[in-house]
Amino acid sequence: MFVPVAEARAVAVGALRRLGLSPEEAAITADHLIDCELRGLGYSGLARILSIADRGIGSPRPVSVLRESPVSTLLDGGDRLGYVVAQRAVQIAVDKATAAGIAVVGAHNTYYTGMLSYYAEQATARDLVVLLASNATPWVAPHGGTEARFGTNPVCFGFPGADGPVIWDVGTSAIVHAQVVLAGRLGDPLPPGVAFDAAGAPTTDPAAALAGAFAPWGGHRGSGLAIVVQLLGVLAGSPILPGELTDFGFLAIALRPDLLRSTEDFKRDVSQYAEAIRATRPAGDAPVRMPFDRSAAARAEALARGGFDVPEEVLAAVRAL
């Protein structure tokens, strides 16, 4: 069902306010979710509001600073929604890195930190190189296993470029938690080979997968990267195995390129390298793309259309809130 951007945002803000978020928190979260929709990632868009409602916001405390230096901050998220907590963490990292050249900011006691490339765009727009990582509830089995030991654990790198940023944002599980939840809402099966049930048998049933474990992305390589992200979240203050939708760890590292070389020269080289990648002779009919190219093109197309498509069941359920 086609929904205009302004209408979708108004519906999102209204539903989030009804769930108990403040006007500022609802606006921050809605902007993030709408960007997911614009980029064709609907499972992380308006449908996430239904998952927030299922989880409930509880009785969150104010976000507090536990440790701070000129180049670092550690935040206690107060069990507040991750879109809000991670946004604050990234803003602190951007401000400190702009002033001091480098910054490390961690946050814990939060959940649903969202799409990391959303934050990376903000950092690269300020001419910063950025690394972002977020651990989560153990929903994913390590390579060779069938029991969950780490989260879907996205990691993201961003580099400012003269002709736009280079951003790589990837989850380390074979399927994203939000995709599994949305498949369950819509009554759709999962692709084969991405999940196990509670007994360790392969499954395509979303409910069985949520009671069991997802497979890691990329075999032992993706599994190893997921372990790294899990420990980066622990560095930010999370427990080694966070509870169900609670106490995720989020880490942001940002730095100015001019710590090492001219920022403008670096941005020029980033863009030249991106073009060299795109100019690679393709193995098939499709041209070679840089990471984020598809996402950026989808957003531009959706903005030109003035909106995007949302499953009717999802929109009706969000409206009902």
228 residue type, one letter: V
Q: What is the pLDDT of residue 42?
A: 95
DSSP secondary structure code for residue 63 in this structure: P
User: What token pair was written down for 29?
Assistant: 């979260």
User: What token pair was written down for 84?
Assistant: 């809000």
Q: Domain residues for 11?
A: 2-57+305-320
Enumerate residues 6+ apart whose C-beta is below 8 A from 29.
12, 16, 21, 81, 83, 84
What is the CA angle 21-316-187, rounded to 5? 110
Strand residue runs (E) in 188-302: 195-196, 213-214, 248-255
DSSP secondary structure code for residue 74 in this structure: E
Task: Give a yes or no: residue 11 inside a domain.
Answer: yes
Q: What is the pLDDT of residue 264?
A: 98
Q: What is the pLDDT of residue 186?
A: 95
Q: What is the pLDDT of residue 141?
A: 98
Q: What is the pTM assigned to this prediction?
A: 0.96
Task: Give a yes or no: residue 35 inside a domain.
Answer: yes
Strand residue runs (E) in the chain: 2-4, 64-69, 72-81, 102-111, 129-134, 155-159, 166-170, 195-196, 213-214, 248-255, 307-309
Task: Give a yes or no: residue 136 inside a domain.
Answer: no
CATH number, domain of 37, equals 1.10.1530.10
Residue 214's closest CA among 254, 178, 170?
178
Task: Give a yes or no: residue 42 inside a domain.
Answer: yes
Q: How many domains does the chain have?
A: 1
Q: With contact defined as beta carbons under 8 Å apart, do 41 and 72 qualify?
A: no
Task: Give a yes or no: residue 25 inside a domain.
Answer: yes
Q: What is the pLDDT of residue 87?
A: 98
Residue 128's closest CA among 169, 157, 107?
157
How confident is the prediction along the chain (321 residues), in pLDDT tens digits per residue?
Answer: 999 999 999 999 999 999 999 999 999 999 999 999 999 999 999 999 999 999 999 999 999 999 999 999 999 999 999 999 999 999 999 999 999 999 999 999 999 999 999 999 999 999 999 999 999 999 999 999 999 999 999 999 999 999 999 999 999 999 999 999 999 999 999 999 999 999 999 999 999 999 999 999 999 999 999 999 999 999 999 999 999 999 999 999 999 999 999 999 999 999 999 999 999 999 999 999 999 999 999 999 999 999 999 999 999 999 999
Q: What is the pLDDT of residue 304?
A: 98
User: Half-sphere exposure of residue 40, counting CA atoms within 13 Å on the CB side?
Assistant: 11
Q: What is the pLDDT of residue 162?
A: 98
The residue assigned the tokens 């950092």 is: 123
Q: What is the pLDDT of residue 22?
A: 97
Instruction: Give 158's strand partners.
Output: 130, 167
Task: Give a yes or no: residue 111 inside a domain.
Answer: no
